[in-house]
Structures are given as C-alpha cells and as structure tokens.
Structure 1
Amino acid sequence: MKTSTAEHLIGNSSQKIRLNEKIGYATGDLACNFIYQTVSSYLLFFYTDIFGITAAAAGLMFLIVRIVDAILDPFIGAVIDKTKTKYGRFRPYLLYGAFPFAGVAILCFTTPGFSDPVKLVYAYTTYILLSITYSVINIPYAALTSAITQDNTEVVSLTSVRMLFGNIGGLIVSFGVPLLAGIFTNMTGEKDTGWQITMTIMGIFGAILLLVCFYTTKERVPLNHSKEAEINFKDIWIQLKTNRPLIIVCFFFILNFGVNSIVNSVGIYYVTYNVARPELVKWYGLMGTLPALILMPLMPLMYKWMGKKKLLFTALLLKAIGLLALFIIPPTFIPLVFVGRLITALGTLTAGAFTWALIPETIDYGEYKTGKRASGVIYALVGFFFKFGMAIGGIVPGLILAKFGYIANQTQTPEALHGILMTLTVIPAVFVIIELAAIFFYNLDEKEHKRILSILKTRQ
C-alpha cells in the first residue's frame, strides 16, 4: 500500500528515539543559546556600557519589546500549527529562519554612527526584529519535542540531552563571549567592534547548528486532520481557559527564567563592581553552567527516583539557598562567592531543564480537553512567558540600578553597590519562594498523564 508523505513523517509516536536524533535535536538548543544566551546575558551591559544607552532607557526598551511579544507570539504559534509542508509543521522554520536569526542578532551588537535619538530607534528596531525571529525559530523548535514522541520517558530523555547541549552553549557563552570580546577589542582597539565580531562568530555557528537540527530530526506524532481539529486563533483563549497544567507551567516559566535572566544579567555588574575583579567575569559565568555537564545526563534517573514535584521542589530550594548565600557572603571572599554561585547553579539548571520537560504533557492534556493538538499555540504561550521572564533580566536590573544611582564605567557609590547586590540575590530569591508555593497547584501527575495518553490513543 502506498504511504502518504504525512504518514511517512508521522511514523510511530511511541518508539524509542535513537541517540543520534536526540543529539541532532539538541544541537538546536545549542544554537539558540549561542545567540539568545549572548543577548540575554550581555545585551543590557552592551547597551549601557558600550552602546551608550542609560540603564533606565534600556530597561524600558526591554519592557516595550515584551509587549510586542505579547501581541505577536500567540498568533505566530497559531500560524505554525496551521503549517503543512513536506518537511512537517515545525522543521521548515529551522531551515528558513536560521540565518535571518543570526543576522539580526549581529545587528543588535552593532553600534552605528548615528546621533543618540536615532541610535535609540536603531536599538528598538533591531531588538524587536530579533525577538520576532527568535519566536519564529524557537516556538517550532520547542514544539518539535511533542512531534517527535509522546512517550514521557523519552520526552525526559530527549529534554535532558537538549538541556545538556543548551547548557554547553550557555557555558561557551558565559566563558567564551567575554573572552572573545576582550581579545577582539584589544586587536581592533574598539570595544563595539570587539563585541560585533564576537556576535558574528556566535551567530554563524548558531545558524549552522539549526540546519543540523533540521536535517537530523523527524516528526512522528499523528495529527487529527479533521475539520474540527484545525487550529484557529481562538484556540489561544480556549487553551488558557481549559488547560490548568499549562497555566501553572507558564507561571513557572515567567518566574524561573525571570530569576535566571536577572541573575545572569546582573552577574557581570556584580563581579565588575562589587567583587572589583572584572577579569573573573568569564569564570563566574563558567561556574553557572559547568554543573550541567554532570546534572543533565542524570535527569532521567533523578526523575525516576524522585518524581516531578519532589525533583522540582528540591531544585528550587537549592536555588533560593544559593542566592541568599551570595547576599550574606562578602564579595571579597572570592572562593565563597564561587561556592554560592555553584549552589545556585545546581538548582537553576535542574529546575530549568525539568520545567521544559513538563510542556509536552500539557499539550497532551490540552488535546484531551479540546480535541485539538495545539502544539504551536501552547509553545507560543509558554515562549511568551519564557521571553517575558528573560526580559525581566533587563527590565528589573535596568530600573533598579538606575534608582540606586548606577553610572556606567566609573567607581560605584555604596548605594549603587547595594542595589547591584539586592538585584542579584534577594529580589530573585523572593520570586523563587513564590515558585516553590506554585508547585502544589500542578495537578497532572504521572498516573493521570498515562490515563490521558491511553484515551488519546483510543481516539486516534
């Protein structure tokens, strides 16, 4: 019997995923981290200390860009869900979006010779374009997990490999970007040129890796092609109304990755001014990502041993302890500062990886409740909260640093140093404690998820 293209792409949604495909899929997160982690960790610093925008203006810009995201992302997700090509629904966006994504990122780290008002317009334009292209890449990339497999064990395994590669990307960014920016600055004699060359390297490698991801993955999960199962824009609101696990996961994302972004973006200020050792920035960043090389391969075992709620609670508790330890530790005690950073990283990396692993089961739950497998819509909603959380790393530090009197490239006042410390430690710790309480409202346990999958298979 002749097999259609769609049937060929679908395959078996519960089969074991080969390691080479898991690695291929994970290269997509490595690529996104090469580009967007550089933006998340260093764009605020680039804007304030090199590009020449005040901390308050940069913080406001991060907020406005997130408002644009709020309007566009769910609609981008709905469009992705309606995509039908010979490559599937999600993979084509990796193929056609890779180099535009890299190109716009390079423009963000380019300082044009314009007057200050025009430079600000340039910054807004390039950052908004970057945010849109990131959505067009990252929403389908993230949704691809739910199209590769529905097996929960395989989802955790796939996500663990993905997070391992993503954190390797974060490690390379944390250590390599300041190192390369310093090298190229010394070579050219210009800070802005040094950062532009560095972003060009990260962008090109990121684009190539997205193409690798496209060519090594396969969409298998069957779709309901009936007219009633077609995705419409109103499904955005239907999912928000009926999908309680999704609401909790979105809440996790805005808090968890908001905290991560604050800690990452303020870390360079903390090491440069509070510790007064700017040459340690790359090592401080490295300490925040290095534990992933041990933790990510252990994720499936930890999940099997502890279960989702206990694992997530333990990780967030470690994160809060590490942040509060950094508040207490004097910045001159550098070994203890790195210990506090390590404890924070252990909790941060585990919680972040497992939060991503929860999304496919919210897609299953949404299909169970509505009859529609709205993967793109759900990942768009999660992606909005993820990016809004990431933007908090620019909004909150920018506004607070301005309030405490931070002025770039000079010795900071005691008040400004206290503002940096509070923004790095106490404020994020409060968000983490709120997130700890939210765990108890997540109502989709392993037993319930298996029951839902059984019902979905019967329907198919």
Structure 2
Amino acid sequence: MRKIKQPLTYAIGAFGHDAFYAALTTYFISFVTSELFDWDTGVSAQMIGFITTAVVVIRIVEIVFDPFIGALIDNTNTRWGKFKPWILGGSLVSSLALVLIFSNFFGLTESNPTLYLVLFVIAFIILDFSYSAHDVAFWGLMPALSLESEQRTKIGTIARFGSTLGHTTIAIVLVPINLWISHWIVGTQGDQQTRAGWLGFAIIIAGVSFIGSALTCWGAEEQQNAVRENVKRTKFTDVFKVLGRNDQLLWLALSYFMFALGFAITNSMVIYYFRYVLGKPQDYTYVGILEAILGMVSVIIFPFLQRTIGRKGVYVGAIGVQVIGYILYTMSGSSTAMALISTGLFYFPQPLVFLATLMTITDSVEYGQLKNGVRNESVTLTVRPLLDKLGGAISNGIVGVAAVGAGMTGAATAADISESGVLTFKAFMLFIPLGLVVLAAIVYWWKVSLTEARHDEIVAKLKEKLVDGESEAGNDETDASAASQSSGAGAGHAG
C-alpha cells in the first residue's frame, strides 16, 4: 500500500503545485494586460509597467533568500519531519494570496490606483515568500524519499506526470472556466472574458493546490537511513559556500537557467500568439490538449530514454527537438495547424529536460555530501525552483514589454496589430529564446558529468565511509573500555 500511496499522493501534490505555478507565471500577466484595468482611464499602460516591474523586482530579491529558506527547512525537526509543515503552511498562505492578486481589491484600480498598487505589492511579497517555502519543501522532499537513482527516477517520473497534467490542464480549462463564470456572474455572452471570470479561475486553482499539498503531507514518508542521518546543521552563513563548492550543481544551474528563461518567455507568449497573431483565441484550448497528451507521453518514456541514452542524451536531445519547433514557428504564418505542430514540438521536450535536471540535482545531494562532508537536501534542491522562478520573473517583465510594444493589450484584436508589431512580438517570443536554449544544451553537454553510474559509485563510497566510521568508533570504544579495565585492575592491586 505504501508503494502506491507515496508516489500517488506526491503526484497529486505536484498536480496542484504546477497548476498554481502556471496560473502565477504564465496567466497572471495575461490577466493584468487584458482585464485588470479600465483602459478608458488612460493610466493602464503605466499601471501595467509598474506591476510587471514590481513582480520582477520582488521575485529576484526573494530568490536571494531561497537558499536560506532551504537551510531553515534542513534545520527543521518536528514530529512530522522536515518538509511537511512547510509544504502545508506555505500552500495555505500562497493560495490565499493568489486569490488576492487576481482581484482588483474591490475596485481600487479605478477608485484609488495608488492604494491598489501598495496593497498589490504587499500581497505579492507574501505570496512569493510563502510559495517559495512550499516549493522548496515540496521538491526538497524528493531525496528524502529514496537514495537509489532508479527509485528516484520512478518517483520523479510519476510526480512529473502529475505536474504535467496540472500545468496542461490549466491551458485546457482556463478559457471555458473564465467564460462560464463570466456568463454566470456578470451576464456576458460569447467569448468575452471578465475580471470575475479570472477571479473564479484563481479561486479554483488555489483550492486545488492546497488540497494537493494536504494529500502529499498525508501520503509521503521521509526515509530514515544512515546516509540521511549523517548530517550537520547548516549555518546560514555557510549556505552559499555549500552551493558554491558543488561544481556539478553550478554548471547544471547555468544550463537550466538559460533553458528555463527561454521556455518561460515563449510559454507565456503562446496565448498572445493565438489571440493577436492568429486571431483565434478560442483555439488556445487545443494547445492545452496537445500539451497534456504530449507531456504525458514524454514523461512516460523518460525512464526508457534514460536507460537507453542516459540523462545527458535526454537533456540535449530534447532541446534539439525544441529547436525544430522554434524553426517551424517562424514559418507558421497564419496557419493554425502549423502553429499547433510547432507548439507540440516546443512543449514535448520540456518534461524530459525538467526530469533530467531534477534527477541530476537530486543526485548532486550525495555528490556534495561526499565532496564537502555535509549533506544539504533542501538547500541543494532550492536551485531548480530558484532558477524556474528567476526565469519566470524575468519573462514576466519581457512579456509585459513585448505586449505593450506590439500593441497587444486591452481590447485589441489581431486586426489591430501591425506587421512591425508582429515582428517585434516574434523577436521576443522566438528568436531570443531560441538562442538561450541552444546555449543551455552546449553547457550541459560540455560541463555536466554527474551521470547515473557516477552517482551509484558516490552512494557506495558514502556507505563504505559510514561503515568504516562506525567501525573506527566501535574500536575506539573497545580500546577505551580496555584501558578503563586495566586502570581499574591497577588501582585494585595498589590497594
């Protein structure tokens, strides 16, 4: 039962986790640029600029604290373990804050824009820090579930299956949920989306995220073993030393950051492509369906690909497929079919790259433990979400600039966008990200050498080292006991 319950509940938690992340990083900026403000007031462009700037600044500043959050989690000791209090508490607070930022604070965007901006900044800071605690703890739980690379791959694959469903389901249900709530609450008809529709969408996502976190806390169990117990408390002053001394982690981080940034930019702009370039916003639902199917296929085949060509082959090969997708996107023109094919080739590799990255980072926990003599689970696992958040933060700013620069705001339609606007948009959506993902593949292939076989050797060395240490400690105790007995005998003889 435990073999089923643990991966299943972890996958459900991953479903809610990625649904939340998609709402925050991909669709929030679309809500801001399209429905949050009344464009008749004349201040909407400036307000969008302030919000996107605030989001980027807050997320980048918060990212600096992520490793310290990881250290705090690593030093946590409760009856429920290290991770569960942070997973549940962080999910509760961030879910409530998500609902707040998808509102206009009871009309303050029109009645008092300054107060709205102040309250928005406060709410977003609370959301970002609480989400970080949840994010770091959730994925930091991974190396605590098993030491074996093969078992980690199974758990990680099932979890990624759940997270892929969470992310892609949002693309499928976003427009129908928004329209249904808009028709029901506001009384609109047709395909007109409203603030109420976006708020209802956010409430649903917040509830799904919290329920998933609660189920993960109920079903997942930290593994207790000698390797995990052989730890020292991480001092906050040593956090960046821990990360800086793990060379494999740093090279992987550089590669994955470039990939994450490129992916986040394009991913956030696909919805704009269908709405403002193709003029078919309703067809965006097909993107979600396509992403869901291909995402599940890529997750299912990951273990086979890893066994066949190794993680390095999976990582670089997946990016090669994505490059083909980018190239086809530039030739899609006004063809919906070509756009969907390009989108499929863009989305299919992402779960493969994510899993290869997650498994490599997870294995780098033991690599760092052997190299530096200190085991840091949460601090090490902060790197992947830190990079995703940094990429998402920067992409939000880029998308905001691109949308305003191309005229893709408010009630504008595809007919309103000029050729130069489309070209500007494509430069941001396709050309810049293409360069980033190619560089990511080059860095990974050239510098990351922590393979599955090398990790197995590292775990064996750690176990051997711990056994030798226990034997030496046992010998020391025997010697001390013998010395005590000899001393006692000497004292009796003297007496």
Q: CA deviation at 1:160?
A: 0.7
**Higher Cα radius of gyration:** 2
Which aligned pairs between 1:239-258 and structure 2 lie closer than 5 A? 239-258=242-261
Aligned counterpart, 2:57: 64
Structure-2 residue corresponding to 1:289: 292
Aligned to 1:195: 198
The residue aligned with 1:369 is: 371
- What is the TM-score of this pair, normalised by structure 2? 0.85
- Give the residue type in structure 2 aligned to 1:446: E
Is the CA contact (8 Å cut-off) linking 1:150 and 1:360 kept in structure 2?
no
Distance in 2 between the 1:405 and 1:278 partners? Answer: 16
Match of 1:349 in 2: 351
* 2:191 alignment counterpart: none
**C-alpha separation between the residues in 1 aligned to 2:356 and 2:292?**
16
Tell me if the contact between 2:95 and 2:206 (Cα under 8 Å) persists in the aligned partners: yes
Residue 427 of structure 2: aligned partner: 422
**Which of 75, 91, 94 is residue 87 of structure 2 equivalent to?**
94
> How many residues matched?
443
| Alignment partners' CA distance in 2, 1:313 and 1:17 | 35
Residue 450 of structure 1, CA deviation:
1.6
Equivalent in the alignment of 1:179:
176
The whole-number CA distance in structure 2 between the counterparts of 1:157 and 1:58 is 40
Please state whether the residue corresponding to 1:18 is helix, strand or coil.
Answer: helix
In 2, Cα distance between the equivalents of 1:24 and 1:294? 21
Q: CA deviation at 1:224?
A: 5.9
**1:459 corresponding residue in structure 2:** 465
Alignment of 1:65-214 (within 5 A): 65-112=58-105, 113-114=107-108, 115-189=112-186, 191-214=194-217
Q: 8 Å contact 1:58–1:398 — kept in the other structure?
A: no
Query: Quick check: 348-357 or 306-315, which moved more?
Result: 348-357
Question: Contact (CA 8 Å) 1:69, 1:384: kept in 2 or not?
Answer: no
Q: Which amino acid aligns with 1:448?
A: R
Shifted more, 393-402 versus 291-300: the winner is 393-402
* Deviations 1:94-129, CA, capped at 9 Å, x for gaps: 233332221111111111221222222233222222
Separation of aligned partners in 2, 1:149 and 1:41: 32
For residues 406 and 98 of structure 1, what CA distance do their matches in structure 2 show? 33
Following the alignment from structure 1 to structure 2, what is the Cα–Cα distance between the partners of residues 130 and 215? 24
Alignment TM-score, normalising by the size of structure 1: 0.91
Q: 1:99 to 1:120 in 2, by over 3 A?
A: same
The alpha-carbon deviation at position 275 of structure 1 amounts to: 0.4
1:2-40 alpha-carbon deviations (Å, 9 max, x no partner): xxxxxxxxxxxxxx9823311111112111112121112
Letter matched to residue 455 of structure 2: H
Partner of 2:490: none
Offset at 1:131?
1.2
2:492 match: none
Identify unmatched segments of 5+ residues in structure 2: 38-43, 189-193, 467-495
Q: 1:59 to 1:276 in 2, by over 3 A?
A: same
Taking the aligned partners of 1:148 and 1:261, their CA distance within structure 2 comes to: 29
| Cα distance in 1 for residues equivalent to 2:242 and 2:289 | 39
Further displaced range: 119-128 or 371-380: 119-128
Contact 1:148-1:218 at 8 Å conserved across structures? yes
Deviations 1:378-415 (A, max 9, x none): 12233222210122220222223334454432222322
- State the alpha-carbon separation in 2 of the partners of residues 250 and 178 from structure 1: 35
Deviates more, 1:411-420 or 1:237-246: 411-420
After alignment, is 321-330 or 377-386 more displaced? 377-386
More moved, 404-413 vs 370-379: 404-413
**What percentage of residue pairs aligned between the two structures are identical?**
19
Say whether the 8 Å CA contact 2:22–2:170 is kept in structure 1.
Answer: yes
**2:340 aligned residue (338, 341, 363):** 338
Deviates more, 1:436-445 or 1:411-420: 411-420
> Paired residue for 1:274, among 274, 277, 284?
277
In structure 2, relative to structure 1, the CA distance for the partners of 1:422 and 1:289 (3 Å cut) is farther
8 Å CA contact 2:88–2:134 kept in 1: the answer is no
Per-residue Cα deviation, 1:254-290 (whole angstroms, up to 9, x for no partner): 2222222212211111110000011112222332332
Given that 1:256 and 1:352 are in contact with CA atoms closer than 8 Å, whether structure 2 keeps it comes out as no
Q: Does the 8 A contact of 2:321 with 2:346 survive in 1? A: yes
Residue in structure 2 matching 1:413, options 409, 418, 422? 418
| Aligned equivalent of 2:455, options 431, 449, 454 | 449
Asked whether the equivalents of residues 58 and 125 of structure 2 are also in contact (C-alpha less than 8 Å), the reply is yes
Q: What secondary structure, in the 3-state scheme, does the structure 2 residue paired with 1:376 have?
A: helix
| RMSD of aligned alpha carbons | 1.9
Q: How far apart, in 2, do the equivalents of 1:393 and 1:358 lie? A: 25
Offset from partner CA, 1:201-240 (integer Å, 9 cap, x none): 11112211111111111101436667x8221113322223
Indicate the SS of the match to 2:236: coil
CA positional deviation for 1:364: 0.9
Which of 7, 10, 17 in structure 2 is aligned with 1:32? 17
Matches within 5 A, 1:305-320: 305-320=308-323
- Give the structure 1 partner of residue 469 of structure 2: none
- Determine the structure 1 residue equivalent to 2:404: 402
Looking at structure 2, the residues matched to 286 and 224 of structure 1 have their Cα atoms a distance apart, in angstroms, of 41
For 2:464 and 2:403, how far apart are their aligned partners in 1? 56
The runs of 5 or more residues in structure 1 that have no matched partner are: 1-15
The 8 Å contact of residues 44 and 58 in structure 1, kept in 2 or not, is answered as no
2:272–2:408: 8 Å Cα contact kept in structure 1? no
Q: Using the TM superposition, give the Cα deviation of residue 292 of structure 1 relative to its aligned residue in structure 2, in angstroms.
A: 1.6
Aligned counterparts of 2:277 and 2:17: Cα–Cα separation in 1? 30
